[in-house]
């Protein structure tokens, strides 16, 4: 086996700092709403800031509803972090002439997403760069039959230099064309 014949790129998935941050903020805010709604129902003060001026119908009921929705949404975020949804790796093996793309999904019979392709099935590497409020800078693996598989992580766009260098290096390693 030759040295540098296998390249493996790790994908973080749901275990990003931003997901931890938003799951915590949504959980805290929704619990405050839910407790305020419950406190208005029992005419008590549960939290430090008072809820004695809030009537249960309609304000307390609405706050309880939004608090419950927030708790459910934050539970969903925490479970995707716990299950590490979207994490995995991209492996390019030049000795066996194969590409392996592995990702973790949601629990169930299809939790493991494991795709294998031979080098002769690969048409090329495509780079997508979009400017604006929500910039996108992605690298796609083009497979025969017009399929494109994203290879870059979501949520943290790479710089132009990083995208250009990674895409060119990968196209050279796979011996395929690079399109923009």
Asked whether residue 155 carries a pLDDT value surpassing 70, the answer given is: no
- CA proximity to 34, closest of 86, 71, 7: 71
| Predicted local confidence at residue 48, as pLDDT | 60
| Cβ neighbours for 36, distance < 8 A, ≥ 6 positions apart | 46, 47, 51, 54, 60, 63, 67
Asked whether residue 1 carries a pLDDT value surpassing 60, the answer given is: no
User: Can you tell me the mean pLDDT for 54-62?
Assistant: 89
pLDDT in tens, 13-29: 999 999 999 999 999 99
| pLDDT band (50, 70, 90) for residue 41 | confident
Whether 103 and 11 have beta carbons less than 8 Å apart is answered as: yes
CA distance linking residue 82 with residue 2, whole number of Å: 37
| Predicted local confidence at residue 57, as pLDDT | 87
In order, the DSSP letters of 121-158 are GEEEEEEEEE-SSS-EEEEEEEETTTEEEE-SPSSSPP
Of the ranges 48-52, 73-77, 90-94, 175-179, which one carries the lowest mean pLDDT score?
A: 48-52
| Cβ neighbours for 95, distance < 8 A, ≥ 6 positions apart | 1, 2, 5, 6
| Predicted local confidence at residue 3, as pLDDT | 63
Q: What is the mean pLDDT of the chain?
A: 89
Whether 177 and 125 have beta carbons less than 8 Å apart is answered as: yes
| Predicted local confidence at residue 140, as pLDDT | 93
| Cβ neighbours for 69, distance < 8 A, ≥ 6 positions apart | 30
| Domains of the chain with bracketed CATH | 17-83 (no CATH), 86-179 (2.30.29)
pLDDT in tens, 86-138: 999 999 999 999 999 999 999 999 999 999 999 999 999 999 888 888 778 88
Helix (H) or strand (E) holding 26: helix 17-42
| Predicted local confidence at residue 125, as pLDDT | 95
């Amino acid at each position: 086996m030759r040295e540098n014949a296998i390249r493996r790129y790790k994908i973080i998935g749901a275990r990003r700092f931003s997901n931890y941050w938003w799951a915590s903020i949504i959980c805290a805010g929704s619990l405050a709403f839910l407790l305020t709604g419950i406190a208005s129902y029992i005419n008590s003060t549960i939290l430090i800031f008072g809820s004695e001026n809030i009537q249960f119908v309609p304000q307390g009921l609405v706050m309880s509803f939004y608090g419950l929705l927030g708790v459910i949404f934050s539970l969903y975020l925490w479970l995707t972090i716990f299950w590490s949804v979207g994490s995995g790796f991209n492996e390019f093996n030049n000795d066996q002439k194969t590409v392996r793309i592995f990702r973790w999904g949601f629990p169930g019979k299809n939790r493991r997403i494991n795709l294998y392709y031979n080098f002769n099935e690969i048409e090329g590497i495509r780079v997508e760069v979009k400017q604006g409020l929500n910039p996108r800078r992605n690298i796609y693996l083009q497979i025969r039959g017009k399929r494109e598989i994203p290879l870059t992580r979501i949520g943290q766009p790479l710089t132009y230099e990083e995208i250009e260098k990674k895409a060119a290096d990968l196209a050279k390693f796979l011996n395929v064309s690079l399109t923009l």
